[in-house]
A and B are shown apart, each in its own frame.
Chain A
Amino acid sequence: MTADRHSSVAGQPATSDTTGGIHAVPLPPGWDEAVRLDEDPATIPDPASIDVPPGLRAEIEGLMSRYPERHSAALPALAAAQRVHGWCSPEAIDQVAAVMQVTPAYLSSVATFYDMLRTQPVGSHYVYVCTSVACHLRDAKSVYEAIERQAVDQGLEDFELREFECLGACDMAPMASIDGRYVGPLSEDDALDLVGALKEGREPLPGRGLPDSGFKLPWAEGGAAPDRPGPPAEPDVHPAGGTWEDAAVLDVPPAEGPPPHPRSIPQPLDPGTSVVPDDEEDSEE
C-alpha cells in the first residue's frame, strides 16, 4: 500500500531508543527502512532472551487462546504492543514475536499492510481526518488543512495527524476520529478549539462526538443543515484589476497589505462600505 498521500506532521518521535545490542549504529526511525543485507534474517526469538512487559504478555496470550490458530492473534497483538510502545517499533515487534513464537519478519509483513499499525514513531495518539469521497464533497480538505495549520502553530506533539480514507461516518461529514472518538460535522473554525483541547489534554468538542450521550446531528429534528461553503456569490474581482484567480496564477500582490490566505474565499466589499465581514475577523484570531 502506498503511503505517499499521507504525511504526518504533528507527531514527534515517541521513542528513538532503537539501539539494541545487536545494532552497531543507531537505526533511523522506522524499522522497515533499516535493511541489513549483511545479516541473516531474524529467527523466532528465544522467549527467555526478550523481556516482555507482563501485562502485554498476558494480553497476547489471552488473544491467542481465543482462536483455533495462534497466528490469528497477529493483528490484535500488534495493536496491543502499539498501545504499550506508541508504535510498532523493532522492540515491540520482537516482544510480540517472542510471545507468539513467530518470526519478526512475519509480523513486519503484517504491520506494514495496515494503516492503523504505525511503522514510524509519529505519535502515540491519532487524529484521522476523513477526506474520502463523501467528506470531500463537503470540503473536508480545507478542514484537514486548518487542523494541520493549527497543529503546526500550536506545536501539537505525540499525535499522528493524517488524512484518512472513509471512516464510515459520512452522515457527520466532514469529520475526524480522535483515538476512535468520532467528531463532526466539522468546519475550519473548529480547528483552533480541537487542537487546543488536545494540547491541554481536554476532550475536544464536547457533545459533538458520536459516542457522547445525547449526540444528534444538527439537522436531526427537522432542523436545517449548516451552511456549506459553495462558490463565491460575489464577482471575482481583484483590487488591482482582473480576477483573484488570474492574480494567483500571475502571482500579483494585492493593491495593499499582505496577500490573503490562498484558501480563503475573497469577499469583495459592497461599494461604499468599509466594514470587514465578521467571518474574516474570526479567521484572524
Chain B
Amino acid sequence: MKETRVLLANIDEPDLQTIAVYERLGGYGSMRKALLEMTPEDVLHELEQSGLRGRGGAGFSMGKKASFIPKGTMDKYLACNADESEPGTFKDRLLMQKNPHLLIEGCIIGSIAAGANKGFIFIRGEYSVQADILDAAVAEAYEKGYLGERILGSGHSFDLVVHRGQGAYICGEETGLLDALEGKRGNPRLKPPFPANQGLYQGPTLINNVETLCSTPIIIEHGSDWYRKFGEGNSTGTKIVSVSGNVQRPGNYEVELGVSVRDIIYGLAGGPPEGHKLKCFFPGGSSAPVLTEEHLDLPYTFEAMAEAGSMLGSGAIIVVDETQPLVALALRLAEFYRHESCGKCVPCREGTNWTVKMLERIDEGEGTPMDLDILGQVQDNIMGNCLCVLGDSMAMPVASMLKHFRPEFEHHMEEARAKRDLAEAVA
C-alpha cells in the first residue's frame, strides 16, 4: 500500500516553509494563473467542477459554498478554519508547520472565488509554533506583494491576518469561530442566516478548512479534470488521513479517496500492535460513530462511511484494540464534550453532563441495566436538538458504542457491581 501524495508531495523538502523554496518548487504559480489568466468566475467554476468537498468535517462542496457568497460591493470575508481540535485530527498542523505558503496561496485563491478582500486564519492557540511559522510566511508574502493592495497589478486586493484562538473546541464550529474572531465567547449562532450571507461582522463570509484551501492551488494548477481523476464517485481528490490510537505507526497518510479502510489501518499504519486485534475504530474523528471489523473493507469515501452509519468527518481514524474497556473510552469521550460544551443549548449542556454521570455510575458499580436504556435515550434527545453539532458529536459515538457493544457495557456493569459489593461486605 502506497500513499498518493498530492498535498504532501513536497512536504519533506527542507525549508519548504520559506517563500524561496516554495517558489522554486512552483509555488504561487496558481495564484498568478488565477489572478492574471482567469476571471473570478473561472476560478469558481473550476473549484465547483473539481468536486472538492470540505475537509473539516461536514464534507460540503467547497465550490458550491463559495458560489453562495452574494455578488456586490459589500465587505466580504474569508475565514480559514485552522482550529483543528477534533480529537484524533492532526493533518492541518502538518500542513501549516511544513507548508504555510500553500495555505496562504489557497487563501488568496479562495478570496478570488468569493470576492473577499479581508481574510483571517483562525488557528488554535495551542499551535503556537505553527502560528509563528504562519506569521513569518504571511510577512514574506506581503513583502513579495502577494498580499495587500492590487496583487501583481491585478484588480484584486487581499489582506490576511493570523488570529490565534485561546483553547476552545467549539471555535472549530464555523459560527463559534466567527464569534471568537469578533472577540466574544465562542458561542455558535442560530442558522440561518448562514455565514455565506451574514457571517463575520455581518458580512458574507466563506469559511473553509486548512486542507480544503490547500487543495485549491493544486486544482487551479492542474485543472478540475485532472483532480477529478483521483477519488471515487462524489468523493473526489486525495485526503490526508490522520491515523492514531492503537496502531503501530500513527501518523498522517495521504490517500486517494476510495481506498479501503483496511489498507489505511493495516497497510499504512501497521494495524494494532503485535498480538492484538482491532475492536472498533472511529472513521472520522472522535465525533464519528464507531465502526467494527466488518466495515474494514469499505472504500474510504464520504458516501460509504455515511451508508455504514458513520461519517468521514475530518478524516481522522482512531483505532481501538481489544484491550481497551469501552466504558472508560466512552467516559473519556463524554468528559471531553462536557468540558467543551459552551452551555448555550440545554440538550447539549445537560445531556453531556448526565452522560458522564451515568457512565461514572456504571464504572463504579452503581449502574443498573435501566441506566443503559436511559443512556441511549439521552443520546437520542441530544441529536438534532441544538444550534450546533457538538452535542451530537458525543451522542453519536456513545450511542454507536452502546449499539455495537451493549453486552460489554452490561458485563462491565456487573463486574463493577460485584467488586463494589465485595468491598462493602468487607467494610
Contacts and interface: CB of A to CB of B under 8 A. Distances in A.
A binds B: yes
Interface of A: 1-3, 5-6, 66-69, 71-76, 78-79, 109-110, 113-117, 128, 131-134, 136-138, 164-173, 177, 179-182, 210-211, 217, 219-220, 224-225, 228, 230-231, 246, 249-251
Contact of A74 (B183, B246, B252, B335): B183
B339 A76 contact: no
Given A79-B166, A134-B87, A168 B333 contact: no
A239 B206 CA distance: 66
B182 A171 contact: no
B398 interface: no
Main SS of the interface on chain A? loop
Contacts of A173: 244-245, 250
B298 to A, nearest CB: 22
Interface stretch (B42-50, B121-129, B212-220): B121-129
B195 interface: no
A182 B129 contact: yes
Interface string B326-343: 001100110110111111
Given A1-B341, A166-B87, A170-B318, A133 B186 contact: no
B87 to A, nearest CB: 4
B423 A250 contact: yes
27 contacts: A1-B340, A5-B339, A6-B339, A66-B161, A68-B118, A72-B182, A75-B180, A76-B163, A110-B183, A114-B186, A128-B126, A133-B336, A134-B88, A137-B319, A137-B324, A165-B87, A166-B88, A168-B93, A168-B124, A169-B93, A171-B90, A172-B250, A179-B128, A210-B97, A230-B276, A230-B323, A249-B422
A267 B211 CA distance: 47
A173 B336 CA distance: 17
Given A67-B161, A128-B126, A137-B318, 14 more contacts: A1-B168, A2-B339, A72-B182, A75-B166, A79-B166, A114-B167, A134-B318, A166-B336, A167-B126, A168-B126, A170-B89, A170-B245, A172-B250, A225-B248
B324 A1 contact: no
Contacts of A79: 125, 164, 166
A48 to B, nearest CB: 24
B84 interface: yes
A275 to B, nearest CB: 25
Interface string B82-122: 00111111101100010000000000000000000010000
Nearest to A230: B323
Contacts of A250: 422-423, 426
B419 interface: yes
A224 B90 contact: no
B273 A69 contact: no
B125, B126, B316: most-surrounded residue (chain A CB, <10 A): B126
B75, B167, B201, B353: most-surrounded residue (chain A CB, <10 A): B167
Contacts of B316: 170
Given A110-B185, A113-B186, A137-B329, A210 B129 contact: yes
B376 interface: no
Nearest to B185: A113
A132 B339 CA distance: 11
Contacts of B125: 79, 114, 116
A113 B183 CA distance: 11
A171 B252 contact: yes
